[in-house]
Amino acid sequence: MTTEVPHGSRSVVLRVAEVIAETGDAHSLVFDVPAELRDRFSYSPGQFLTIRVPSEQTGSVARCYSLASSPFTDDAPKVTVKRTEGGYGSNWLCDNVTAGDELEVLPPSGVFTPRDLDADLLLFGAGSGITPVMSILKSALSQGTGKVVLVYANRDVASVIFAAELRELVGKFPQRLTVLHWLEPLLGLPSADMVATLVAPYAGYEAFMCGPKPFMDLVHDALAALDVPRARTHAEVFNSLSGDPFADHEVVEVTAAEAADAATVEVELDGQLHELAWPRKQTLVDIMLDKGLDVPYSCQEGECGSCACTVLEGKVEMAQCDILDPEDIENGYILGCQARPVTDHLRIQF
């Protein structure tokens, strides 16, 4: 398989060093990152890569896959791809990619990552939702001091990704790591009440979850029943992307009338403050890219959460924000790629 040159200035072409058959329907792709790209491809536990998958119908599709590797314990970044019924991207990658092939990818992105690896962590994964959770788990055990509890749901034993690695980690960290497998043939489908009972001893831990929506919903309900504060609950949600995040950003021309009516925004990014004019028809990500700022973003469709930030002052409107819970929005969280100004003055923090 060959690949073209990168389709934008943000993306690069990486060689697949190894393909690992994790289960019958899940493969891991290990990437060889050249020395000159290692800074760009440094990542935090729980982040993801966006991969450009060739398509005869549309030219390509973009798909986000979590890094199952740890930046602290693994030599190379690894994403794990599980086939989904009717899923073009996952099936194409599992069917076609072999060691030595090249894929076009965007640098690591995402905010599903612990701020404190020393914290006690309560992790939930279902099916391939284990991938970012595994990255967090290994990183916390390697670098942190807290306890880690993993609740891992699967339809059967054969579906358990990373089963051998989890057994090894439990043996290596018996006082810190607890793995609770939920297998449907033995326990049936989980419910919120069942999960709440199971994890009640760990209600004070920081919670992270990834998996299908029904699983995520019942975990949210279980944690709410245990009075776990929303601020200590973190969820990773992926949806198929319809746009092309690999294309370079094009600066939008602003008319004199739009410039005169623009709001002003003070943005804190990486500890630095930037005061910008914000035309009403543009998104926050758009205006920051227009100014050459290295704003975190990936899909620009409101589907990945990479551009999540907090409104400290002012008000915005968003065209698409389904991945944010109502509690998130109440607490001031917004998606920069969807936000447009309502008030004349705003303060926003990334």
What is the pLDDT at residue 29?
98
121-236 sits in which CATH class?
alpha beta
The predicted pLDDT at position 58 comes to: 72
Is the distance from CB of 33 to CB of 78 less than 8 angstroms?
no
Helix (H) or strand (E) holding 130: helix 130-143
**Which residue ranges make up each domain of the chain?**
12-109, 121-236, 256-349
CA-to-CA separations, 304 to 206, 242, 272, 273, 296, in angstroms, rounded: 21, 12, 24, 25, 11
SS3 string, 184-240, reads HHHHCCCCHHHHHHHHHHHCCCEEEEECCHHHHHHHHHHHHHCCCCHHHEEEECCCC
Rounded mean pLDDT for each run of 10 residues along the chain, 350 residues in total: 73 97 97 96 96 85 95 98 92 96 94 95 97 98 98 97 98 98 97 98 97 95 96 84 81 90 96 96 95 88 88 95 83 94 97
Measured distance CA(133)–CA(126) in Å, rounded: 10
pTM of the model: 0.87
CATH code linked to domain 12-109: 2.40.30.10
Per-residue pLDDT, 86: 86
pLDDT for the residue 298: 83
CATH topology of domain 256-349: Ubiquitin-like (UB roll) (3.10.20)
pLDDT in the model for residue 209: 97
86-111 burial: b if 16+ Cβ within 10 Å, else e: eeebbbbbbeebeeebbbbbbbbbbb
